[in-house]
Structure 1
Amino acid sequence: MGEGVKATLARPIQLADEVAKQCGAAKCFRSECAELKARADKIAALLRQAARADLYDRPAARIIAGAAQALAKASSLAARCASGHPRLRRFFTLSPAAGFPRTVTLLDTALEDVAWLLRISSPHPGADDDDGDGDGDLRGLPNIAQNEPILFLIWDHVARLHTGGLAARADSAANLASLARDSQHFAKLIIEEDGVPPLLRLLKEGTDEGQEAAARALGLLGCDAESVEKLVHAGVCSVFATALKEPPMRVQAAVADAIATLTDQSTTCQELFAQNNAVRYLVGHLASGTIQEHSRYSVGSSTSKNSAAASQPMTSLHSVVLAKTLSMRHGGDRDTSSTDDPPRMSNGSKADQDAKRNQMQSVVQSAMAAKTKTNGSLVQHFRPQLGTSGSSGRGAREVEDPETKAHLKAMAAKALWKLARNHLDVCKSITDSRALLCFAVLLEKGDGGMGTWVQHFSAMAIMEICRVAEHSLGLRQSAFKPSSPAAKAVVDQLLHIVSKGDFDDLLLPCITALGCLARTFTASETRMIAPLVVLLDEREPLVTKEAVVALTKFSCTENHLHVNHCKAIVDNGGARHLVQLVYLGDEVQIEALILLCYIALHVPESEGLAQAGVLAVLLWASKQAHMVQDMRVEVLLPDAKGRLELFQSRAGSCYHCQEEEDQCNQASRAQRRHLEAVAVVVTVVVAKDELQRGRSRSWHRSSEDAASGCVERRRRH
């Protein structure tokens, strides 16, 4: 109980004593005053008992304020009865008889509320019994919570978290988790009513069921950024990180799920969880049982010095890890002071350390010998004991069922996905460990059909890491260099999923990840273009858009191999698909046009662009108002159109299609023949007309001569 609550108890205790004293000296309505005195004495006794108890502060403040208000009204009524008015004055004053029933009701309500407060704030017999619930059902409904019963439920469960037994606390935590899941308003009420500290205490000290319920409840309480901030100030990050180190696995899975939920709501948690080594513990859970060599936190980023081991074919992801470990062991370049090594729980003697080192060397050598005998296929003969980086011992994991193990891996992958989002330091911490290789293995094999989302969460985690690496040269050079086995394994799995092209939860993040890694591939690495181009042909709009965006990252000017990638896109028939998308793709018109502009800028002399009619598409797009309004199109389109006109305008507008050119030539020849025939006809008609006109003139001339001769002869006669 806080000092503020103790200070508020002084006033109602004084009022209760004053009411009892005044009622004892009453000169009128003595029977009614006796009832007031009896209730005031009971309230005073309960208030003194509350002063010695450890009260639940939130309901205590409301209940004590209500009791003080009821006692103040009773004191005013008792003072009038104790003053002793004269007979004549009674006729001119209000009689207190009408106020007694209401005052008694108020005192009864305050009495019940104070009794309820003491009842929920005090341990009950059997509360410390772990085998049963000594508290029973809900311990009555206080009158103060009649208008809001949910508030009473929250008070009761939070009080049981303070005073109940382990079983009762686990049940209350589960009930609070259910309330928080139903409504964000209920979740905020739980935080406001100080429900977070007892949940954190239960997560540290409770039974397995109680810890799991507390972890789920704390994750559900982070319904928005404001709520997460309150949880962070309460110390939830350090408690979660500590819980990730200790079994059982179902508690660790619930904690990992809660970490993912809190990180998704607020970016403040990312740095705090990273400072508390949560990333290390999550990677430890992800690697356990996923890759064969997991005694160290890091796979090791140094380049192998053993060329013989490096030249052996890597037929599986497990062999990649073992070969890497063998090269590090035999190369003699292992740095014992490396920060990648996890802190050890205890320091044994030198003889014990040498024995462990020799045992590990013999294990690796035997595994490599088995690999050689089976022509490169690794046979798993052992399962080394887990280290101390966020993992429980081998015995604790052996007793867990496969479904729980798969669920823990899925939740660990989900938490790493959320933690890696737009956070460079977390991504470096993940890539410096063996997490990338674990993600590749989980993408390949899944969770064994246990009904979890481990493949989807692994793909999303890879996508977020690749998004950060796209804008970080250091991360690209350290995590996705071409010689890295983990990077090769990840790229192989991404290409495998994209090549299948099945529209599921894995396809979109894998396409995005490949696009973000566009600047990490070498000039000879062109196998990722063809699967992306195939996705442009009559696929789902989301898939087509992601494929176009990924190909744009390969062909943009910032990519130093943009010319090679643009040629590969055209050679695989991408120009024809992009022309159709610009004309008909409503949702991807702009993105397809931008990709076409990049290709036209970098390979304008390509015959494939001419055959696809890209210049006509760019000319058409330049007249579309909704396209040219985009800033990217406004910058790229004029230059792309100018480059195509420069390289592809030698044969006029009909150059782009040989069939159209032949048709135009045939039309020209037919038109010339038609004009020649028309000219001949016109010439014949004109000649005939001239001939007729000549004959007519000669006849008229002879007629005139004959007529003039007749006239002359008549004149003579």
Structure 2
Amino acid sequence: MAEEKRIEDELSYAILLAEQVRSAVDEAKSFKSECNQVGKHVDTIVEKLRAQVRSAQSFYERPIQRIVAEVCKNLERTLTLVRKCKRRNIFRRVFTIISATDFRKAIILLEASVGDMKWLSSILDSNNDNSGIVITLPPIASNDPILAWVWSSISSIHMGPLPEKIEAANQLASLAHDNDRNKQIIVEEGGVPPFLRLLSETTSPDAQIAAATLLYHLSNDKERVGTIVDQVGVRVIVKVLADSPMRVQTWVARLVARMAECNPIAQDDFARENAIRPLVTLLSFETFTGDQKSLVGKQSIHSLVQINQDMDKKSLTDSKNNHHYRPYVSSFSSFHYSEGSSKGGSNHRRERENEMPEVKHELKISCAEALWMLARDSVLNSKRITDTKGLLCLAKLVENGEGELQFNCLMTIKEITSAAEYNADLRRAAFKANSPAAKAVVDQLLRVIKELDSPKLQVPAIRSIGSLARTFPARETRVVGPLVAHLSNRSQEVAAEAAIALGGNEREQLHGLVLLCYLALHAGNSEALEQARVLNALEGVDPKMLAQFPDLKELVSKAVYHINLYHAGPHSQRLLYVP
């Protein structure tokens, strides 16, 4: 109401100024011809201003504000000029110099104001008459045509029929694509609220996709994401994510991922609005079809039931202690939710079942990316994912997925294991030795490390294993071998990650040693190694330390041998290694 009142006041002030100019024109005693010309333009401006007063309350306000402010400025200058024509005192006329040039400048400004007001009226008429987006250029935007295009498009989204709203949103998305200045203009000119309303247009998936695509393009900047959050956009986005056709959900999940990546506040807000539940649900859709036992053993369903019961108890406790807490769906219930229960999503169950496989695949890619970004550097969100059957789902998709889907799932696991490494509660809750989910994750991580020849996938898998080192019992032997094997990997990044992961519980003490060995093996002829006395460091390694990691003893001997090959000296005959 305050905003509407302010617009009305601005329009009233502009009308008052125009009437004052009109009165001054009637009283003019000099430059009557020029003043009459001014009067004609002012009459047109007044007519358009009054029309805006009658329609402003239901109209897009941003162009009205900008144009009326410019009109007022031009009217003020004109009023000052025309009032000088009233004076008849000879003395005043001598010291008040008016020229035809002054009137020409004033008339040019008034003509621009007339053009701006006509353009503003044409937008209103286009929305009332369903005649489409106005593509003419108002004088106020002559130096920045994008401004007029943005105003016209946002106006159509506000007031146009649905096909025009979709067209306008697609045009703005094209403007915003790869152009940060256009994105900023769209946000500054009040585009976010109508885009969110269009996203809620559940009767039209095309409208929702157009809005989600546009918001996605805007969301590559922390401040712009903050604007979406401030407009209560997170709640709208999560609602659409939970119950929309798959094509819509794919774009909305991408939007969640980008917003969470760019702004930690958005990351937290999505979690509070329970975005993780529908994401895990959608990711698990048709993932556990007939082969749950092969993934997690005979007790997997019983385990999920137990998780469900435990979470229900915890939800009741937390809800009593924190009124902001929203209970999160459990593993077992989210499984049924994904199959189309009555708790949201059921409206599109049949559509989902009949969707093309590539559509389902793209949705899973987007959901996995969103979970990755929500889990990144967040212990709380990582726990929320593990409280559902998220780990089981991620492990299954690492096993059967490929390409971007497999990578996104591995990166999500990497974030969760990284959080668990430094948070004992999460580590104990999610990665207990007898946990089917933890076992499934470790099995798939080791499979990726041993069997796949892809540094892009091996790096997050190795890093995850390193983060889980504290969870492995002393008798665990299957982890060290694959990591040592990768110390000589042709990818330096894979080799470095393997070296760090081998540090295990003593990571801070050992990973430096392993890295030195790796450097010696692959850069043994470097003078820098000799100058840094790397050989002395390797020879001085505490045998007790190596005794804890037998595989490293051979690695150290091998590194010493390589250094001796290139740097003859007093140490050249020590610890010879025979390959």
* TM-score normalised by the chain length of structure 2: 0.83
* 1:611 to 1:204, Cα distance in 2 relative to 1, 3 A: closer
Residue equivalent to 2:329:
none
Q: What residue identity is the alignment partner of 2:140?
A: I
Q: What residue identity is the alignment partner of 2:355?
A: E
- The partner residue of 1:458 within 377, 397, 409 is 409
Gaps of 5+ in 1: 128-133, 294-315, 342-359, 361-381, 625-651, 660-717
In structure 1, distance between residues paired with 2:527 and 2:361: 41
Using the TM superposition, give the Cα deviation of residue 34 of structure 1 relative to its aligned residue in structure 2, in angstroms: 2.3
Residue equivalent to 1:387:
341
* 1:435 to 1:607, Cα distance in 2 relative to 1, 3 A: closer
* 1:270 to 1:460, Cα distance in 2 relative to 1, 3 A: same
Using the TM superposition, give the Cα deviation of residue 249 of structure 1 relative to its aligned residue in structure 2, in angstroms: 1.0
Q: Do the aligned residues in 2 keep the contact of 1:56 with 1:121 (CA within 8 Å)?
A: no
2:521 counterpart of 1:580: yes
2:475 counterpart of 1:493: no
In structure 2, distance between residues paired with 1:421 and 1:20: 64
Residue equivalent to 1:32:
34
* 1:455 to 1:489, Cα distance in 2 relative to 1, 3 A: same
Residue equivalent to 1:481:
432
Residue equivalent to 2:546:
603
Using the TM superposition, give the Cα deviation of residue 325 of structure 1 relative to its aligned residue in structure 2, in angstroms: 5.1
**CA displacement 1:201-251 (0-9 Å, x = unmatched):** 111126211211211221221222222222211112111111111211111
Three-state SS of the structure 2 residue aligned to 1:387 is coil
Q: Say which structure is richer in helix.
A: 2
In structure 2, distance between residues paired with 1:438 and 1:172: 39
* 1:121 to 1:586, Cα distance in 2 relative to 1, 3 A: farther
Q: What residue identity is the alignment partner of 1:72?
A: E
Residue equivalent to 1:255:
252
Three-state SS of the structure 2 residue aligned to 1:535 is helix
- The partner residue of 2:491 within 540, 551, 555 is 540
2:137 counterpart of 1:141: yes
Q: Do the aligned residues in 1 keep the contact of 2:284 with 2:393 (CA within 8 Å)?
A: yes
In structure 2, distance between residues paired with 1:235 and 1:588: 57
Q: What residue identity is the alignment partner of 1:537?
A: S
Using the TM superposition, give the Cα deviation of residue 117 of structure 1 relative to its aligned residue in structure 2, in angstroms: 2.0
In structure 1, distance between residues paired with 2:420 and 2:307: 31
In structure 2, distance between residues paired with 1:247 and 1:317: 27
State the superposition RMSD in angstroms. Answer: 4.0
Aligned residues: 546
2:388 counterpart of 1:433: yes
In structure 2, distance between residues paired with 1:223 and 1:108: 40
Three-state SS of the structure 2 residue aligned to 1:194 is coil
- State the structure with more CA Rg: 1
**CA displacement 1:35-54 (0-9 Å, x = unmatched):** 22222111112112212222
- The partner residue of 2:351 within 396, 404, 412 is 396
- The partner residue of 2:299 within 324, 327, 345 is 324
Using the TM superposition, give the Cα deviation of residue 286 of structure 1 relative to its aligned residue in structure 2, in angstroms: 0.5
Residue equivalent to 2:369:
414
Q: What residue identity is the alignment partner of 2:340?
A: L
- The partner residue of 1:182 within 175, 178, 183 is 178
Gaps of 5+ in 2: 317-331
**CA displacement 1:633-690 (0-9 Å, x = unmatched):** xxxxxxxxxxxxxxxxxxx99663499xxxxxxxxxxxxxxxxxxxxxxxxxxxxxxx
Q: What residue identity is the alignment partner of 2:27?
A: A
Three-state SS of the structure 1 residue aligned to 2:166 is helix
* 1:387 to 1:428, Cα distance in 2 relative to 1, 3 A: farther
Q: What residue identity is the alignment partner of 2:366?
A: M
In structure 2, distance between residues paired with 1:442 and 1:5: 55
- The partner residue of 2:378 within 397, 420, 423 is 423
In structure 2, distance between residues paired with 1:174 and 1:409: 24
In structure 2, distance between residues paired with 1:577 and 1:104: 79
| Alignment map for 1:70-149 (pairs within 5 Å) | 70-84=74-88, 94-121=97-124, 124-125=127-128, 127=130, 134-135=131-132, 137-149=133-145
Residue equivalent to 2:465:
514
Three-state SS of the structure 1 residue aligned to 2:341 is coil
Residue equivalent to 2:72:
68
Residue equivalent to 1:232:
229
Using the TM superposition, give the Cα deviation of residue 609 of structure 1 relative to its aligned residue in structure 2, in angstroms: 7.3
* 1:604 to 1:518, Cα distance in 2 relative to 1, 3 A: closer
In structure 2, distance between residues paired with 1:407 and 1:292: 19
* 1:332 to 1:389, Cα distance in 2 relative to 1, 3 A: closer
In structure 2, distance between residues paired with 1:15 and 1:223: 43
Q: What residue identity is the alignment partner of 1:497?
A: V
Q: What residue identity is the alignment partner of 2:34?
A: E
Q: Do the aligned residues in 2 keep the contact of 1:67 with 1:110 (CA within 8 Å)?
A: yes
Q: Do the aligned residues in 1 keep the contact of 2:503 with 2:509 (CA within 8 Å)?
A: no
In structure 1, distance between residues paired with 2:353 and 2:121: 47
* 1:284 to 1:154, Cα distance in 2 relative to 1, 3 A: same
- The partner residue of 1:165 within 161, 165, 172 is 161
Using the TM superposition, give the Cα deviation of residue 597 of structure 1 relative to its aligned residue in structure 2, in angstroms: 8.1
Using the TM superposition, give the Cα deviation of residue 261 of structure 1 relative to its aligned residue in structure 2, in angstroms: 0.6
- The partner residue of 2:422 within 452, 463, 471 is 471
**CA displacement 1:481-539 (0-9 Å, x = unmatched):** 12111211111111111102512431111111111111111222211211111111251
Q: Do the aligned residues in 1 keep the contact of 2:205 with 2:248 (CA within 8 Å)?
A: yes
Task: Among all aligned residue pairs of Structure 1 and Structure 2, give the percentage whose two residues are the same amino acid.
Answer: 34
In structure 1, distance between residues paired with 2:528 and 2:211: 45
Residue equivalent to 1:656:
575
Residue equivalent to 1:211:
208
Three-state SS of the structure 2 residue aligned to 1:476 is helix
Residue equivalent to 1:3:
5
In structure 1, distance between residues paired with 2:528 and 2:239: 47
**CA displacement 1:341-397 (0-9 Å, x = unmatched):** 9xxxxxxxxxxxxxxxxxx9xxxxxxxxxxxxxxxxxxxxx9993335664443121
In structure 1, distance between residues paired with 2:274 and 2:548: 55
- The partner residue of 1:283 within 280, 293, 302 is 280
Using the TM superposition, give the Cα deviation of residue 150 of structure 1 relative to its aligned residue in structure 2, in angstroms: 1.8
In structure 2, distance between residues paired with 1:586 and 1:122: 79
- The partner residue of 2:23 within 21, 24, 29 is 21
